[in-house]
Structure 1
């Protein structure tokens, strides 16, 4: 299985650890990760700070991937919902910490989120 970057020359360079598109060939399995939120453990505690929520939400995404025997290298598409554009830079920095050199297709949406306590939600599609 391969995940190939699609960055057409007619588009501006993709900056910020993403690619304009991904071409997946030879995949055997696809995992659709439902929107993960910053819940810690079974008691659904939500940390108050954005950076803690972001790391916790990524931990939850990675837990779903691990359940399928996958990791960040299998991500083909990530969608992040932010409650406020002020969180853009911290979100980008933490996403890059998590993904390293892997650059999936990416969308970030600024919107109202289901719970007022959640500052973000992340959904993803992974393949292997």
Structure 2
């Protein structure tokens, strides 16, 4: 049984996220992923780091047998909301490239620092796998 989108009647359609998801299945909690590759290298560009962090999330989720459509929620921790807002069109392209047309419930938080000094953002996610492993 796939996840069910939660959208209260009369609310405007959200852009780039979903209000909520419900589903029954195996819960997969993913720790924060930063935008470095498998060798620990960070691109200097915000969008490239976001693309890599999303790819890293999918790589970890694949270990549990899941994919993008199983992600119910994400939290983005960014050093600069200005960088995020200034790059929205390119972030949308990167999102569709990695995540397709699936939009989890999302929260965006500006933070003063991240553990990895080169990281411009960190993304954590929660997935619900509705199919047996």
Measure, in 2, the Cα distance between the counterparts of 1:71 and 1:84. 28
Q: CA RMSD in A?
A: 1.7
Q: How does 1:1-128 map to 2 (within 5 A)?
A: 1-16=1-16, 18-24=17-23, 26-27=24-25, 29-42=26-39, 44-85=40-81, 86-88=83-85, 89=88, 90-114=90-114, 115-128=116-129
SS of 1:2's partner is coil
> Scaled by the length of structure 1, what TM-score is found?
0.85
Measure, in 1, the Cα distance between the counterparts of 2:108 and 2:92. 10
Contact 2:54–2:99 under 8 Å retained in 1: no
Contact 1:7–1:14 under 8 Å retained in 2: no
Q: Alignment length, in residue pairs?
A: 124
Change (3 A) 1:80 1:91: farther
> Scaled by the length of structure 2, what TM-score is found?
0.83
Q: Which runs of 5+ in 2 are unaligned?
A: none
